[in-house]
Amino acid sequence: MEQVHGELGYQIATLCARRPPFSHESTLPSDQLDRLLSQAGERIQQLKRTLLGVDSRIRELKQETIHHELLILQRDLSLRTAAIERFPVVQGSPVVGKTLAEMALPLSIRLVTVLRGPFLVPPDDALILRVNDVLVIIGLQGDLAKVASSFAPARHAQSS
């Protein structure tokens, strides 16, 4: 864009230089000035569209890279009968209101982070779980299955 501004300035200066010295006539014919400004504006719009396309492509490449890395991670964990899973804390779940220390996770399980709204909350034994928190946990698949049951909403027995 600086190049477009520089070219525009050069063209305006060139047109001004063509005017006879000490002349009282208008610096530039308005139609030429309008044309130059219009061309510069069109070029800037074209550059902006190109920039948006490049930005979009960069986002796509980042997503492809992340997807590839996640597939590799999933394969590596799977070969070791392990996994990484998300455990949403839903209304009625027995873990609502408990601290992480009270959860007593199996030794093979590691809590990676707690997603709370837009934040990544680092694991801390004193952290109290709330509805809509999402725990990201890594560990052996069998132990993850055991942990999953503690996130299911409590069932209330109905009388007949």
Residue 89 CB contacts under 8 Å (≥ 6 apart), including other chains = 95, 96, 129, 130, 131, 132, 133, 134, 135, 151
Residue 110: strand pairing partners? 138
CATH code reported for the domain at 81-149: 3.30.70.1450
pLDDT of residue 160: 44
At 66-118, the pLDDT tens digits run: 999 999 999 999 999 999 999 999 999 999 999 999 998 999 999 999 999 99
Q: Kindly state the average pLDDT of the residues 144-160.
A: 75
Domain limits, the chain: 2-18+28-73, 81-149
Please give the share of the chain, as a percent, with pLDDT higher than 90: 56
pTM > 0.85: yes or no: no
Q: Kindly state the average pLDDT of the residues 135-144.
A: 96
